[in-house]
Amino acid sequence: MQRIVTPLLEHWYFRPGFVPRDAADPATEGFVPVCLPHTVREMPCSYFSVQDFQGLSCYKRRLNLKEEWKNHRIFVDFDGVMTAARVFCNGREAGTHKGGFTPFSVEITDFLRWDGGDFLAVEVDSTERPDTPPFGYVVDYVCFGGIYREVTLRAVPPAHIRNVKTEARDVMAPRKALALRADLQGVPAGAVLAASLWDGDTRLAACETALAPGAQTAELLLQDLDVRRWELDDPALYTLRVTLHSGADTDEVRLRTGFRIARFTPRGFFLNEKSIKLRGLNRHQQYPYQGYAMPWRAQYQDADLLKRELHLNIVRTSHYPQSPHFLDRCDEIGLLVFEELPGWQHIGDAAWQEQSCRDLEAMIRRDWNHPSIVLWGVRINESLDDHDFYARTNALARALDPTRQTGGVRYLEHSELLEDVYTINDFSHDGTNAGLRDPRAVTGLTRDVPYLVTEHSGHIYPTKRFDNEERLLEQALRHLRVLDAAAADPRISGAIGWCAFDYNTHKDFGSGDKVCYHGVMDMFRLPKFAAAVYRSQTEEEPVLEPLTRWTRGDRCAAQITPLVICTNCEEVRVIVNGVDQGKFTPDRSNYPSLAHPPVVLRQLSGGWGDDWNGAEFIGYRGGKEVARQRYTADPTPAALELRANAAALTAGPWDTTRIVCRLVDSYGHPLPYDFTPVQLTAEGPGQIIGPGLRSLLGGEIAFWVRTTGEEGTLRVTVNTPEGLTAAVTLPVK
Ligand code: GAL
């Protein structure tokens, strides 16, 4: 016997509501066929009622069991079901789970009949149950319901591996080691546990150990390893194979691992003993229309966007464990992660706290092998001090994973520090004062402690992508000032801003339309000016982003200055109406600590009533031109552009990609006050997610397409009423 793992994504049937008969009745009349990940209800992206997706629903699926799986123990692994689930196999309850962000497994071995009619029924409860974190009081985010992550059927021999934890050793030495512990089940006499480490197809090392019958854990050490460290610019990953041999049976688990040491200290954060100033944003896992239910590629595209477009080095998975795909991608591209347990300000009763500890344990057990994760968040985001509860969560995290430090996000000053890192949401910057508070004033301690700012900006200055220029600029300036303050103080490990993307929320928050416009990007991941602040702090590519729409009358009193240019160029030449205004250098006097302060033009001649003309900005590094931006004084629609983030999609279980559509002027800038309706159409094996008729919002929109299973060519077209059209073609294989 061997381990067999089969994805259970296709061939599910879904219907809102759950009646007792559903558990035992395989019939699917009145159900619709669905493919996972699945949202119980596609929602508008604003002005909806949160009641509309809450309630019970039913998912059913036949199990096409194969003869060779007999004698195995059979589990169904759920990666995430919001908010609670009861799983029935052939009418009998096989397992239940509460908590929408953590995985769970249900063993169905004893319920199977092997008669060709075996089936699962899942009752999904997507209500905001007060017995389950984050619920119980108000929450500033919406948790969309459904079996919204993957489900897998796992058949294992009676002797099998339950989990493997790896710990890198001697990371700074030329030859490194990897310690591993396997949790085992059903070990008979004469069994052996073997481990090998692989770099692609090359086996680097192997070892094994004989097991005592009934052994529940075993430890192994792979030594003398010639491996690279996991670094942000070279995130080397290796594959570990762990095999349990028992008689003729084998059970093998493969996982990826990396070699790195991450440490928060009173003098900042160190990765592999190198000091790194952390520059990050918080991410919610929501997507327009689909809620939480987006497959791997969308998760990958988010991580890529944070690392490669915004040039962040850390993301906080606010406020819960996020998709394993997102974390996998963070490992692959070198994006650090602060992951925290589900919650928001509210701490419930003893049973609720038990549930919270279960969530924490499930999160750590699921994710302890990700080199990208450098901190466990063990406190309910922004809750008050609670000595007993947080002494317990800290002890639990440290016992499960002594290799990582703990943080606990609070907004409180002088809060009881039970964690390793004082993680603080510092919303003190109001546009006129210092970017951040002094760490000792916040902690109230007379010594320095590891200290990380986990939120800033956010609700203090909500900004819509289609707001006027002054507001967009002020949001960007606030992020700049906080980043500068974080960079100035070696005691501050870094700052993680609120937040990456606008998100759906409850009536108690946001702009009344169920949206918090706190992102540096909107919920479609389109950038506001503040995105350029992050983008420009990189060495990887030249960035030159004037925070202007170049208009005479969009700002008050016909001002176009201060004109802030987010850039990593050493000099920027400015040409207005063909007249060279000279070269300008970054504003180090106001942003002394930023790696790349913006260039700020305080005065440009001209005003209300003068002839208005175009401009040109030229960026130089090492005296050479590396970037150029042009603006016309007279923008008109020149082209409709369409760009998909993926070049091809896969057939089978649904796949997706984000597509960006922009109505641009002759220099490629989207027209900021264009709200033209556009028709989106998909032909071939795919569909638009959300409505096909949309309005451009400030000259651009983004949307996602989903595949329908078949192979072929997916052609996505956008048309404007004025007859502009653009298309992309995606092979689906
Ligand atoms: C914080 C909270 C976040 C979000 C943010 C808005 O208090 O932790 O979840 O609500 O405010 O700025």
pLDDT digits (tens, 9 = 90+) for 325-380: 999 999 999 999 999 999 999 999 999 999 999 999 999 999 999 999 999 999 99
- Identify which of 554, 550, 547 has the alpha carbon closest to the alpha carbon of residue 529: 547
- Identify which of 32, 37, 39 has the alpha carbon closest to the alpha carbon of residue 53: 39
- 68 in Cβ contact with 535 (< 8 Å): no
Whose CA is closest to atom 3 on ligand 1? 140
Would you say residue 200 has pLDDT above 90? yes
Residue 191, number of CB atoms within 10 A of its CB: 23
Would you say residue 131 has pLDDT above 90? yes
CA–CA dist 194, 701 (Å, integer): 52
CA–CA dist 293, 258 (Å, integer): 29
Rounded to 5 degrees, what are φ and ψ at 12?
-90, 155
CA–CA dist 668, 675 (Å, integer): 17
For 486-595, strand residue ranges (E) read 492-497, 503-504, 515-516, 544-546, 563-567, 571-576, 579-584
> Percentages helix, strand, coil for the chain, rounded to the nearest 5?
15, 40, 45
Half-sphere exposure of 425 (CA within 13 A, CB side): 25
Would you say residue 606 has pLDDT above 90? no
- pLDDT averaged over the chain? 97
Q: Cβ(456) to ligand 1 under 6 A?
A: no
Ligand 1 centroid vs 143 CA: distance in angstroms?
Answer: 15
Reported as a pLDDT band with limits 50, 70 and 90, residue 718 is very high
Rounded to 5 degrees, what are φ and ψ at 391?
-65, -35
Question: ∠550-553-555 over CA atoms, to 5°?
Answer: 80
Rounded to 5 degrees, what are φ and ψ at 432?
-120, -20
Reported as a pLDDT band with limits 50, 70 and 90, residue 546 is very high
Residue-level pLDDT at 194: 98
**Residues with catalytic roles:** 382, 455
Half-sphere exposure of 221 (CA within 13 A, CB side): 6
| Token output for 296 | 């791997």
Ligand 1 centroid vs 458 CA: distance in angstroms?
Answer: 7
Ligand 1 centroid vs 514 CA: distance in angstroms?
Answer: 15
Q: What is the SS3 string spanning 31-82?
A: CEEECCCCCCCCCCCCCCCHHHHCCEEEEEEECCCCHHHCCCEEEEEECCEE
Question: For ligand 1, what atom is nearest to the CA of residue 411?
Answer: 7
Ligand 1 centroid vs 606 CA: distance in angstroms?
Answer: 42
Ligand 1 centroid vs 56 CA: distance in angstroms?
Answer: 29
Q: Cβ(316) to ligand 1 under 6 A?
A: no
Task: Give every strand in the sheet of 192-199, ordered side by side.
Answer: 202-210, 192-199, 238-246, 249-257
DSSP 484-514: HHHHH-TTEEEEEEB-SB-EE--TTSTTSSS
Whose CA is closest to atom 4 on ligand 1? 140
Q: Is 512 exposed, middle or buried (0-12, 13-18, 19+ CB in 10 A)?
A: exposed
- By most ligand atoms within 8 Å of CB, the mutation choice from 319, 380, 381, 425 for ligand 1 is 425
Name residues whose C-beta falls within 8 Å of residue 723's C-beta, 6 or more positions apart in sequence: none
CA–CA dist 121, 96 (Å, integer): 12
Distance of CA 448 to the CA centre of its chain: 31
Half-sphere exposure of 349 (CA within 13 A, CB side): 3
Whose CA is closest to atom 9 on ligand 1? 140
Residue-level pLDDT at 383: 97
Ligand 1 centroid vs 516 CA: distance in angstroms?
Answer: 10
Ligand 1 centroid vs 545 CA: distance in angstroms?
Answer: 28
For 632-675, strand residue ranges (E) read 639-644, 656-664
Residue-level pLDDT at 605: 86
What does the pLDDT average to over 679-707? Answer: 98
Q: Is 719 exposed, middle or buried (0-12, 13-18, 19+ CB in 10 A)?
A: middle
- 94 in Cβ contact with 88 (< 8 Å): yes
Q: Cβ(140) to ligand 1 under 6 A?
A: yes
The rounded percent of the chain whose pLDDT value lies above 90 is: 99
CA–CA dist 501, 515 (Å, integer): 11
CA–CA dist 159, 246 (Å, integer): 7
What does the pLDDT average to over 306-312? Answer: 98
Question: For ligand 1, what atom is nearest to the CA of residue 319?
Answer: 9
Angle between helices 296-304 and 324-333 in degrees, nearest 10: 40
Asked if residue 83 has a cis previous peptide bond (ω within 30° of 0), the answer is yes
Q: Cβ(382) to ligand 1 under 6 A?
A: yes
Ligand 1 centroid vs 409 CA: distance in angstroms?
Answer: 11
pLDDT in tens, 617-637: 999 999 999 999 999 999 999
pLDDT in tens, 35-63: 999 999 999 999 999 999 999 999 999 99
Q: Cβ(381) to ligand 1 under 6 A?
A: yes
Q: Cβ(459) to ligand 1 under 6 A?
A: yes
Distance of CA 380 to CAs 328, 385, 386, 613, Å?
24, 10, 10, 53
Q: Cβ(356) to ligand 1 under 6 A?
A: no
What does the pLDDT average to over 56-79? Answer: 96
Distance of CA 473 to CAs 82, 91, 538, Å?
38, 59, 20
pLDDT in tens, 252-286: 999 999 999 999 999 999 999 999 999 999 999 99
- By most ligand atoms within 8 Å of CB, the mutation choice from 286, 426, 427, 498 for ligand 1 is 498
- 246 in Cβ contact with 159 (< 8 Å): yes
What does the pLDDT average to over 534-558? Answer: 96
Q: Cβ(518) to ligand 1 under 6 A?
A: yes
Question: For ligand 1, what atom is nearest to the CA of residue 505?
Answer: 10
Residue-level pLDDT at 97: 98
- By most ligand atoms within 8 Å of CB, the mutation choice from 138, 282, 455 for ligand 1 is 455
Reported as a pLDDT band with limits 50, 70 and 90, residue 450 is very high
What does the pLDDT average to over 673-694? Answer: 97
